[in-house]
Amino acid sequence: MFRASEGGQSVRVIKIGGNELDQPSFMEDLSAALKELTSASVLVHGGGKAVSAWQRRVGLTPRYVNGLRVTDEETRELAVMTLAGLTNKTLVAALMRAGLPALGLCGADLGLVRVSPLPDLGWVGKPAEVDAGRLRRWIAEGVLPVIAPIGLGPDGLYNVNADQMAAAIAAALPADELVFLTDVPGVRVGEEIRPSLSAEEAEALIASGIIRDGMVPKVRSALEALEAGVRRVRITNLAGLRQGGTEIVGGK
């Protein structure tokens, strides 16, 4: 479990997936949606699709364990280059063009997100500590932090699952709400988008394989964020940013 900070200004933390960033109209639509929100925001973005593309380009095969990318030395270099470089700065540039005061960072900058290594995954870490005070000062100054999922570990840079990064930041602030933006309107069970899921229901759906792949760390990160003090967590698409999607609730 990551360590949360006490007190401070609450905001909305929004996690953006790599699939969304690949959609031509997404940047413009996201900028418009952010301008309409009344609360301050922090953005955490993924970009796994781009990392996988670079892996294949250099002859590597992407591998995952429970939805987390196995990261060897070469994959780590590609992840830092892609996530903290082109993906982060492309998003920042789009937000700035729309008049939003975006500041592009990764978790290693100023030790913003420190991580603990995860066993058997190579250079993969899980957030252990977040400098929430620094984030709150930027937010108070009207800055929109845009954070890439690269963290600072005990011996260098670590790849971090963006869902886990977003959950840790939301817990540390603490946030009023954590929203996982995806390319689907919520968690689908059969033909239905579930309006809510309890921890017990979520684990049963994971065990049965209905919730699988990248949705697994998303749902488990949501449960950890709730346990750490985030008031509300939703999984939805951009159209449901204001209201909608699947709310993950604590307890049974």
Task: Catalogue the active-site residues.
Answer: 15, 18, 48, 163, 218
Q: To which residue do tokens 């729309």 refer? A: 98
Say which residues have a Cβ less than 8 Å from residue 93's Cβ, sequence separation at least 6: none
Say which residues have a Cβ less than 8 Å from residue 28's Cβ, sequence separation at least 6: 94, 98
**Contacts of 183-189 spanning 24+ positions with Cβ under 8 A:** 183/17, 183/19, 183/20, 183/23, 183/237, 184/237, 185/236, 185/237, 185/239, 185/240, 185/244, 185/245, 186/235, 186/236, 186/237, 186/240, 186/244, 186/245, 186/246, 187/211, 187/215, 187/219, 187/235, 187/246
The closest alpha carbon to 20, from 110, 92, 76, 87, belongs to 87
Q: What are 196's two structure tokens?
A: 């809510």
Q: What are 66's two structure tokens?
A: 């429970």
Q: To which residue do tokens 């988008």 refer? A: 193
